[in-house]
A and B are shown apart, each in its own frame.
Chain A
Amino acid sequence: MKTVIVVHGGAWAIPDDISKASVDGVKNAARAGSVILRNGGSALDAVEKAVRTLEDDPVFDAGHGAVLNTNGEVELDAIIMDGGTLAAGAVSSVRNIANPVTLARAVMEKTDHVMLTDRGANLFAESIGFPSTATDALVTENERKEWEKFKKYIVGVKELFNPKWGHDTVGAVALDSLGNVACATSTGGIRNKMVGRVGDSPIIGAGGYADNRSGAVSCTGHGEAILKVTLARLILFHMEQGKTAREAALTSLQYMVERVNGGGGAIVVSPTGDWAAKFNTERMAWAAVEGEVLSYGLNPQEDCKETFQSK
């Protein structure tokens, strides 16, 4: 059976100076995930690997490169979900962890719970010997500068989701050779967020959802809007009703604009390998591997193709 992986690096007004790095980053992550699928690995392993690759890439707001909260600290959210069992693991507002997606997977596999938050997530990480990083190790020089610039302009409360200020959650969805789907999403949230703010990413049904019967979704964009419409679950609901991945994503994104005035993007894969990467923000870096074709894009309607090479 064919395998598919789709990844995104966040839906927002990606500035030109990091557009190439963003596209290269999602292509790398898609390749890394695809290699696992080609070797008979699981969808779960593939999405974890792809998201880890993006977390490690400082160009993205997740893991290394995450944005800072109002106190100048990094707080990370992540989720992973297995479409075969509906098992899920999530962490919210976790600190000093370079790969929150892997910690989320440990929550899924090593506890009876789905979600751990804040110090509880760190206590759990310690208890299983999960590697921690120094507080500033995840902060890039660029982010510190941007954050300081941001602090100078006291923005009105309603303006926090200004796409110019950066907002690039990362995520992946995959279909493996056994027909299992999985999703993973990871983020540093939005710059200058309140301490303890939890967005859509770690919330099941909002930041991601995976079900072997309907498909897998990972979302990005205005977190509060995504939560209000439970975007990931909404897209899969439309697919359960017979819509294609593309139609379901577009219908749901349009609904989110109309109902709660929120922009964003989503990547989707169905159990038969029908996939889509759609957004209504200015840009979203995305890449997908299906068979021997690596597809990718950044601007609306862009769909570049090249032959897959594992590098």
Chain B
Amino acid sequence: MLPVLVVHGGAGHIPKERAELSCGGVMEAVRGGYSILRAGGSAMDAVVEAVTLLEDNPAYNAGRGSVLNVKGEVEMDALVMDGRTLGSGAVSAVRRVKNPVQLARLVMEKTNHLCLTAEGASQFARAMGMEEVPEESLITDYARMRWRKNLAPGANPVECQMGKMGTVGAVAVDVEGNIACATSTGGMLNQMAGRVGDTPCVGCGGYADNKVGAVSPTGHGEAIMKVTLSRLILFHMEQGKSAEEASDLALAYMRERVGGLGGVVVVDPQGNWAARFSSLQMAWAAARQGQLHYGLYTGEHFTEPLEKPSQ
């Protein structure tokens, strides 16, 4: 059953014309990460590779393609966690970095801290020799169009939010049984400057523990925080629930308790996996035992051999 990799490209309401883009990207990301696992690579390498591919893909709200805050800037959050040591690294409200997930990993590996924020995270990136990219290079026409639309008088920011909540994330178990998760996001459309969502908060925007499993969520960040969604799912799994049962229980709880919608990808140490969501859609893909699984709408689950060319 090992290795296994599951990725998501965000839960929300994805406009029809963007649905195909959304599915193609997660399939490509899962192929990229899974090839590392099949070559004997670590779960951490695989989730970082998968999330890097999604950050580089302008169809998602992470890295290039991130939504803009109310001032028209890109501020990004990311988290990685290593289930063997519970080591973790995160950055919040970081600017002008191409791949925040890689910076989060450096926080984990090169500092004795867990989270660096804003200008401090940028200073650290420079100290690590990470290239500072122009803000423009992270901004797509689509993101700018949506930002303008939301600034217009009479715009309903809550409704517009539903258009694209595409945080991205990945969870994996490698052949040695090590588990990892990674999550990355540009946050919420027209968010206040400095708003930090669930993504960089351990236990909210992700959690990985070799003894239980790993989770990467997406959706309404503030709701995910209030119920510490990732840790909640793993608590249910510790109590004997399957990855799927635990996800459904926790997502239902989040809806009832704080009125929030979202989705998750989950793995357990045996290689069982789940991709569940309470939102209208979530682009997801998984790879295990030579098979590629993917879907977008509730109940959708396509399977094809990984080796087959994707056309």
Identify the A interface with B (CB < 8 A).
85-88, 90, 92-93, 111-121, 123-124, 157-158, 160-161, 193-199, 203-206, 209, 223-224, 227-230, 233-234, 237, 259-260
What is the number of contacts between chain A and chain B, taking CB atoms within 8 Å?
155
Known pairs A194-B120, A230-B202; A115 contacts B114 (CB<8 A):
no
What residue of chain B has the Cβ atom nearest to residue A118's Cβ?
Answer: B118
A-B contact pairs, 25 of them (CB 8 A): A86-B257, A88-B225, A111-B192, A112-B222, A113-B191, A113-B192, A113-B196, A114-B221, A116-B192, A116-B195, A117-B92, A118-B194, A120-B75, A120-B118, A121-B194, A194-B120, A198-B114, A198-B117, A206-B202, A206-B203, A224-B112, A224-B114, A228-B87, A230-B203, A230-B207
Pairwise interchain contact B228-A114, C-beta atoms closer than 8 A: no
Q: Is the CB of A224 within 8 A of B226?
A: no
> Which range holds the interface residue count of chain B?
35 or more
Tell me, in angstroms, the Cα distance from A124 to B191 when the chains sit together: 12
Whether B115 and A198, one on each chain, are in contact in the complex, defined by CB atoms closer than 8 angstroms, is yes
The reply to whether the CB of B50 lies closer than 8 angstroms to some CB of chain A is no
Complex: A259 Cα to B88 Cα, angstroms = 14
- The A interface is mostly helix, strand or loop, or mixed, namely mixed
In angstroms, Cα B123 to Cα A53, docked, is 34
Evaluate contact between A117 and B118: CB separation under 8 angstroms: yes
Taking A230-B202, A233-B231 as contacts, is the C-beta distance between A196 and B191 under 8 angstroms? no
Known contacts A113-B195, A204-B201, A237-B235: does B118 contact A119 (CB below 8 Å)? yes
Q: Decide yes or no whether B113 CB sits under 8 A from chain A.
A: yes
B204 contacts which chain A residues (CB < 8 A)? Answer: 203-205
Docked-complex contact A227 and B114, CB < 8 angstroms: yes
- Tell me if B227 is interfacial: C-beta within 8 Å of chain A: yes
Measured CA separation A206–B225 after assembly (Å): 11
Closest chain-A Cβ to B154's Cβ sits at a distance in Å of 18
* Contact residues in B for A223 (Cβ distance below 8 Å): 114
- 0/1 per residue, B136-170, Cβ < 8 Å to A? 00000000000000000000000000000000000
Residues of A within 8 A of B121 (CB): 196
Q: Is the CB of B86 within 8 A of A205?
A: no
**Chain A nearest CB, measured from B137 CB (Å):** 22
CA distance A199 to B113 in the complex (A): 8
Complex CA–CA separation, A205 to B85 (angstroms): 19
Q: What does the 1/0 interface line of B189-219 toward A look like (CB < 8 Å)?
A: 0011111110001111001000000000000
**Per-position 1/0 for B244-267, Cβ under 8 A of A:** 000000000000011000000000
The interface residues of chain B lying within 8 Å CB-to-CB of A205 are 201-204, 228, 231
Given contacts A120-B93, A197-B120, A209-B228, contact A115 B115 (CB under 8 A): no
Check A204 against B115 for contact (C-beta < 8 Å).
no
What is the CB-to-nearest-CB distance from B224 to chain A, in angstroms, rounded to a whole number? 10
- The answer on a CB contact under 8 Å between B203 and A86 is no
Whether B112 and A160, one on each chain, are in contact in the complex, defined by CB atoms closer than 8 angstroms, is yes
CB pair A113–B231 under 8 Å, yes or no, is no
- B270 adjacent to chain A (CB < 8 Å): no
| Complex-state Cα separation, A197 to B203, whole angstroms | 18
Per the bound structure, the CA–CA distance linking A32 and B34 in Å amounts to: 57
B291 at the interface (CB under 8 A from A): no
Bound-state Cα–Cα, A161 to B257, Å: 37
A-B contact sample (16 more), CB < 8 A, given A119-B193, A123-B194: A87-B226, A113-B191, A119-B119, A119-B194, A121-B194, A157-B112, A196-B121, A198-B92, A203-B203, A204-B225, A204-B226, A204-B228, A228-B88, A230-B202, A230-B228, A233-B231
Contact flags B86-103 to A (C-beta < 8 A → 1, else 0)? 111010110000000000
The distance in angstroms between the C-alpha atoms of A85 and B112, with both chains bound, is 34
Q: Which residue of A lies closest to B120 (CB)?
A: A196
Within the assembled complex, what's the spacing in Å between the Cα atoms of A121 and B118? 11
Whether B258 contacts A196 by the Cβ 8 Å rule is: no
Is the Cβ of B192 less than 8 Å from the Cβ of A124? Answer: yes
Chain B positions within 8 Å of A161 at CB level: 112
A198 is contacted by which of B88, B116, B192, B258 (Cβ under 8 Å)?
Answer: B116
